[in-house]
Structure 1
Amino acid sequence: MKINIGINEESRKAIADELSKVLADSYMLYLKTHNYHWNVTGELFHSLHEQFEEQYTELAEAIDEIAERIRSLGYRAPGTFEEFNELTSIKEDTEEPEALEMVRRLALGNEQVLRTARQALKPANEAEDEATIDLLTRRLDVHSKTAWMLRSHLE
């Protein structure tokens, strides 16, 4: 069935392509955060273990919402690790950093998601896609606050 939601196909594709990058970055940040939740050690263990759990739980919900928005625009949401790895600007860790290095890397990851989401706002704004604008604005708020909280550990 042809999609007729008041946004032309070219704009829907541009928005979906940018949202796919937000989805990939969010998924990679989710994986990194969950990994750190499992593997954090040291005197900050308890507080960071809980903080990381809150963050990855929120990210899991966001990932679903972003993917569903891509689908509502009429495009397939990327869903494999290979696709995410190709689209993301967040790299996975291959070593086991100490607790405060985990915090630093997660702060950087949240800042990267912010930059990716800001890029996705451009085609959404041009197409006057309020639903995507709202989704991205909420993501900007969450990642700004999360990055601030993480950076506060490092001061």
Structure 2
Amino acid sequence: MADANTNSRAALVAELNGLLADHFALFVKTKNFHWHVRGPRFRDLHLLFDEQALEVRDQIDIIAERVRKLDAETLTSLGTLAKATQIADQDSAKLSAEDMIAELLADNQKLVARLKAMKPLAEQAGDNATDGLIDDWTDMAEQRVWFLRALLG
């Protein structure tokens, strides 16, 4: 039984590190869009992207500390982050506001899917604390999805 628990915990830690990488990548992308958005909705989108970026950023340390509380190691460099994330880079500073919204919507939907897939891992590992945090993080990501989807009509 100890092997099953060890395997469950290792799988959970791997996904937490993936979630950590996703949050870093999503933070950078959302800030990129915050800095470069243009058009008639500039002010509203500039403020929304900043609000969402800060919410994502504020989760980074909590995720990393959860990994450490599980007596495991977090990601250690930009290289390890890049390998672990599901969020694609976006280097353009010239996207339309609509394209920015659509891309952030898709990225946040990926985050929701990853979080929902993590629930059984936390349960299998018997990790009630992570299980509860996943609920909170899912709610925050679903709210970002809702706001972004509403912008697209």
- TM-score bin (small chain): over 0.9
**Alignment partner of 2:28 out of 28, 31, 42:** 31
Task: Name the residue aligned to 2:99.
Answer: 101
Q: Which runs of 5+ in 1 are unaligned?
A: 1-6
User: Once the two structures are aligned, what percentage of the paired residues are identical?
Assistant: 33
Do residues 141 (structure 1) and 142 (structure 2) align?
no
CA RMSD of aligned residues (A): 1.4
CA distance in 2, matches of 1:140, 1:21: 15
Contact 2:119 2:134 in 1 (8 A): yes
Aligned partners of 2:115 and 2:23: how far apart in 1?
Answer: 10
8 Å Cα contact 1:22-1:120 kept in structure 2:
no
Cα distance between partner residues in 2 of 1:49 and 1:79 = 31
Asked if 1 retains the 8 angstrom alpha-carbon contact of 2:5 and 2:124, the reply is no
**Residue type of the alignment partner of 2:83:** E
The one-letter amino acid of 2:102's match is: R
Q: Secondary structure at the residue paired with 2:133?
A: helix
Of residues 113, 121, 126, the one that matches 2:111 is: 113
Structure having the larger proportion of residues in helix: 2
TM (normalized to structure 2)? 0.92
User: 2-side partners of 1:19 and 1:35: how far apart?
Assistant: 24
User: How many residues are aligned here?
Assistant: 149
| Residue equivalent to 1:15 | 12
TM-score normalised by L of structure 1: 0.91
Paired residue for 1:57? 54
Deviation of 1:8 (Å): 4.3
In structure 2, the residue matched to 1:4 is: none
| Aligned with 1:86 (options 70, 83, 98) | 83
